[in-house]
Structure 1
Amino acid sequence: MTMTQTPVTIGLDCGTGGARALVADLQGRVLAMATVPYDTQFPRTGWATQDPADWWRASVLAVRQALAEAGVQPGDVRAICADGTSSTLVALGADLQPLAPAILWMDNRASPQARRIEATGHPALRRSRGGVSAETMIPKILWIKDNDPALFDRTRWFVEMSDYIALRLSGEVTLGLNQTINRWFHDPRRGGWPEDLFAQIGLPGLAERFPTTMLPLGAPIGPLAPDAAAALGLGAQTLVVCGGTDAYVAMVGLNTLASGQTAFITGSSHLVLPMTDRDVEIEGVFGPHPDCVVPGLFVMEGGQVSSGSVIRWWHDQMSGGRDSYAAMMAAAEAVPLGANGLVALDFWQGNRNPHIDYDLQGAIWGLTLKHGTADITRALMESVCFGTRNILARLAEGGVAVETMTIAGGTVRSPFWLQMHADTANVPLIVPEVTEATAFGAAITAAVGAGAYAALPEAAAVMVRAARVIEPDAARHRQYEDLFGYYRDTHTALRPLMHRMADRQRASPAA
């Protein structure tokens, strides 16, 4: 460890599995990074919750570890910015304390509420053509009103995960404009909150429960609160900067901030995020979300609820978490393309895009006595790639063709799976020097908030650098295209059965 006297910022990424703190200087050199895990609870089928206190404990430990590794003094840290998983709902009381476990982004209990909202046909739903996502905040709030009215009545503020972390850092209750635009039906170009929609669905006056201070990505919130500064080992002069949705912050860390560029975020879930200057609606894809990253530009969004989480689930089921991922991937790589006739669907927590159907479940078929665990691993990996291919196909059908994707996240750690993604999508993948783009994007955003750069594109142009490009293999792509047809046809065939099972699960007290 060497002691530094250079100005730095901290990006704090609160993801699904843990908090990651990254320390970077103002030229984009990463000095240290530390990750501290926390748990997710799955109390019922389709439910997923976390304890906000766990987020803060992990954040404090991650920041302290990263600072120690970097040799950073408190006075060196100009600013800190936190992002969080999108649509993770926190209900706060008047004392600003959480009233219940946070409802995690992947929780799909609000599927009936999402369908009720969708049935209104309200103009505010224009960025959810094809269906309202059960993951998003308004369906979840409506679920609380329907199923736990006492909790609803006690709630003073509804906020996102990143807003809660900003509250713990600064002592100020705020909402990030980034997530209210892409997840809360807020549209600054069309009057802000759709209060008539809220009244129509049985949530009159809901906007009164949203903090009135809504800040854009990269805006200063204020200095660290004294208790936060003491917990983190930082000085009170450190500025807290507004973050947002993890994947959208990762767009900053990938420098996909111009029209025609696309971020590809991989991890527990996958996200394809093209930036465009066109106000275009595409059924089955969310967006266009205006001004939520770069003013004047729109973000389209296609996502998979469960992608890397499916592979993690299978790894843990297969080995109890004992065997390494590398060994599992090596065994799958030895299996022929097509997994010896196995076909899988990656819908472990439903489908976000392009079907927007949270009553879908995972599936695998074609099993015979000759198949082994490596065949299943490969089939699951291919299903995740086909899910991405399905989103790209819907984007292309709507006139938004993706020609390259800049990739971040867990997939980059597996050359085999990285190449599989390129081959199935038939799109070159740009790999940056810093592949932990979310935490890095938060550090870049902090630099803008601290005044080191005038705007996010200017900062990313200096701080982000590409490392290599993964080109698709044309022959393998042709083989995958044939199998992609089986993937699509499997969804068509199984959808009615999956809906029946989802209804049965909801009706059963033991579900």
Structure 2
Amino acid sequence: MVYVIGIDGGTESVRATVFDLAGRRIASASSAYPTQFSAGARAEQDPESWWSALGIAVRRVVEEAGVGIHDVAAICATTTCCTVVALDEAVRPLRPAILWMDVRAGKEADAVLATGDPALVLNGAGQGPVSAEWMIPKALWLARHEPEIFEAAHTICEYQDFMNWRLTGRRTASLNNASIRWHYRDDAGGWPDSLLDTLNLSELRKKWPAEVLPPGAAIGTLTARAADHLGLAETVLVLQGGADALIGMIGLAVARPGQLALITGSSHLQFAVGDRTTSVAGLWGTYSNAVYPGRTILEGGQTSTGSIVAWLRRLMGDGFDLDALNLEAGRLEPGADGLLVLDHFQGNRTPYTDPLARGAITGLSLHHTGAHLFRATLEGIGFGTRAILDRMAEAGCGAAEITAGGGATRSPLWLQIHADTSGLPVVVPEVAEAPSLGAAVLAAHGSGHFASIDDGIAAMVRTGRRIEPIAENVDRYQSIYQRYVELYPALKPLREVVPA
């Protein structure tokens, strides 16, 4: 038997999953790491904790799967995107990584947009927005606020690149990450040199990995040190991955123009596949060849989704019983008895791209319970998804259904709410861990077992559940959604901005 391992380096943990070439999930194991939060919507992690967790997760999953180390042909990693790392020449971190959800670089994002550089065509035809989450604003923040770190850095890259460098000894960047967050244009000149020059950031270009590889390309085999760390053979091939959510499209079999993926986790991301280049206000892209050769991707996203549920868990403490809350909230009518949640707890990605936006809970009364708050939170996230899908439809990228993967798929209530708030059926493949399966498809394709990514999808991804919207609920959510839409502009003038 031949096996591959899909690695998903997420916000809270790294997960390793063993698959066979039919896409069957043999075993999965994870290892957690902490995040340090501070004022100004800052969030950081220690890259060494990723590396330690990776070794623990891979060793565990190989043991649990009961496979021999020489039966594992290849591995491929997906990771959080825009988690920026400053490294010395020995691949050691010079400071904690600036996590993807960290939006300290709001002023730097404004400076990037103000250049008006042609590279910004990916952001609303050059009109913006530019997100504080992205690579260049964060690197500019480092250059301005921690110049000693910026100057000392041999490499400034992402979680993905750090992992692959440690695994293979080869310093590469992913075409996927670079296309969607570094303003790299595979179809138009490559690196955004003029943008960097205008920002007095030309040194960054020298600190980025010079090699850019597409998803599924071979990086190399494991070094002796990496093989020992993972408990695998040195013959294991490492394939280029990318951003967890976009590689998750492969695991969801969302590969053809007209299809739409909803990737859920700590955040939600929405991706529409196309066959032409376009640019839409309030959305990101399109990105050429970032996942599939010859196809484009249009993107929307919500910064806080599963992370809001995690916040609610911390807030409620022992009173948070997920199974009980799903049951109790499922008995409530749509609208949670007048409770409404704005899902901007860590800023808004799209369609507003406002890093200073904050969440809100309105309509509270002494009648409301934890179940009301739980349901209203899921509904608010559903409304945030609908706002993005509405913008995509206006741009001619509407879809007839949503294909979903990730944490939210474990909650039938949340899936039904997504179907009802959007008015669209929700499809869930048999294997819901889309980034891990997508990485496994890339590992199988890149190691020569399938001629193309499409062939790998056909062999390894299978359809699972289909959740139809409930017509009565769709109608009831229409008016509630209008209240949701009005909430952000109404609260914007009232918010207090915490200094960075």
TM-score (norm 2): 0.98
Note the alpha carbon deviations across 1:49-68, whole angstroms, 9 max, x for none: 11111111111111111101
Match for residue 44 of structure 1? 39
- 1:61 pairs with 48, 56, 62, which one? 56
State the AA in 1 paired with 2:343.
D
SS of the aligned residue for 2:347 comes to coil
Residues 283-322 of structure 1: pairs in structure 2 closer than 5 A: 283-319=281-317
CA distance in structure 1 between the aligned counterparts of 2:113 and 2:95, rounded to whole angstroms: 27
Note the alpha carbon deviations across 1:184-211, whole angstroms, 9 max, x for none: 0000211111111111122123211111
Residues 107-126 of structure 1: pairs in structure 2 closer than 5 A: 107-126=102-121
Superposition deviation, residue 94 in structure 1: 2.1
SS of the aligned residue for 1:361 comes to coil
Residues 326-365 of structure 1: pairs in structure 2 closer than 5 A: 326-365=323-362
CA contact 2:117–2:194 (8 Å) conserved in 1: no
State the AA in 2 paired with 1:48.
A
SS of the aligned residue for 2:36 comes to coil
Match for residue 433 of structure 1? 430
SS of the aligned residue for 1:48 comes to strand
Match for residue 266 of structure 1? 264
CA distance in structure 1 between the aligned counterparts of 2:492 and 2:392, rounded to whole angstroms: 22
Structure 1 window deviating more from structure 2 (330-339 vs 166-175): it is 330-339
Superposition deviation, residue 331 in structure 1: 2.4
Match for residue 208 of structure 1? 206
CA contact 1:195–1:205 (8 Å) conserved in 2: no
Match for residue 499 of structure 2? 506
CA distance in structure 2 between the aligned counterparts of 1:156 and 1:26, rounded to whole angstroms: 39
State the AA in 2 paired with 1:49.
E
- 2:369 pairs with 365, 372, 392, which one? 372
- 1:76 pairs with 46, 49, 71, which one? 71
Match for residue 3 of structure 1? none
Structure 1 window deviating more from structure 2 (126-135 vs 302-311): it is 126-135
Superposition deviation, residue 145 in structure 1: 0.8
CA distance in structure 1 between the aligned counterparts of 2:110 and 2:481, rounded to whole angstroms: 28
Note the alpha carbon deviations across 1:197-235, whole angstroms, 9 max, x for none: 111122123211111111100000011010110111111
Residues 248-263 of structure 1: pairs in structure 2 closer than 5 A: 248-263=246-261
SS of the aligned residue for 2:37 comes to coil
CA distance in structure 1 between the aligned counterparts of 2:19 and 2:374, rounded to whole angstroms: 36
Match for residue 27 of structure 2? 32
Match for residue 96 of structure 1? 91
Superposition deviation, residue 452 in structure 1: 0.6
Note the alpha carbon deviations across 1:387-423, whole angstroms, 9 max, x for none: 0000001111111112112110111111111100011
State the AA in 1 paired with 2:180.
N
CA distance in structure 1 between the aligned counterparts of 2:349 and 2:183, rounded to whole angstroms: 16
CA distance in structure 2 between the aligned counterparts of 1:191 and 1:497, rounded to whole angstroms: 43
Structure 2 residue 473 is matched with structure 1 residue 480: no
Residues 105-144 of structure 1: pairs in structure 2 closer than 5 A: 105-129=100-124, 130-144=128-142
CA contact 2:91–2:166 (8 Å) conserved in 1: no
CA distance in structure 2 between the aligned counterparts of 1:110 and 1:411, rounded to whole angstroms: 29
Residues 396-475 of structure 1: pairs in structure 2 closer than 5 A: 396-475=393-472
CA contact 1:195–1:206 (8 Å) conserved in 2: no
CA distance in structure 1 between the aligned counterparts of 2:14 and 2:42, rounded to whole angstroms: 21
Note the alpha carbon deviations across 1:221-268, whole angstroms, 9 max, x for none: 011010110111111110011110001111111111111111110110
Residues 130-279 of structure 1: pairs in structure 2 closer than 5 A: 130-279=128-277
For structure 1, which runs of at least 5 residues remain unmatched after alignment?
1-5
Superposition deviation, residue 334 in structure 1: 2.6
Superposition deviation, residue 370 in structure 1: 2.0
Note the alpha carbon deviations across 1:431-460, whole angstroms, 9 max, x for none: 111001111111111111111111111101
Identity %: 44
State the AA in 1 paired with 2:341.
A
CA contact 2:139–2:204 (8 Å) conserved in 1: no
Note the alpha carbon deviations across 1:287-326, whole angstroms, 9 max, x for none: 1010011111000110000001101101211125x64311
Superposition deviation, residue 176 in structure 1: 0.7
CA contact 1:268–1:309 (8 Å) conserved in 2: yes
Note the alpha carbon deviations across 1:449-482, whole angstroms, 9 max, x for none: 1111111111011110001211111221111111
CA contact 1:90–1:159 (8 Å) conserved in 2: yes
SS of the aligned residue for 1:189 comes to coil
CA contact 1:82–1:442 (8 Å) conserved in 2: yes
CA contact 2:35–2:45 (8 Å) conserved in 1: yes
SS of the aligned residue for 1:175 comes to strand
Equivalenced residues, count: 497
CA distance in structure 1 between the aligned counterparts of 2:145 and 2:325, rounded to whole angstroms: 42
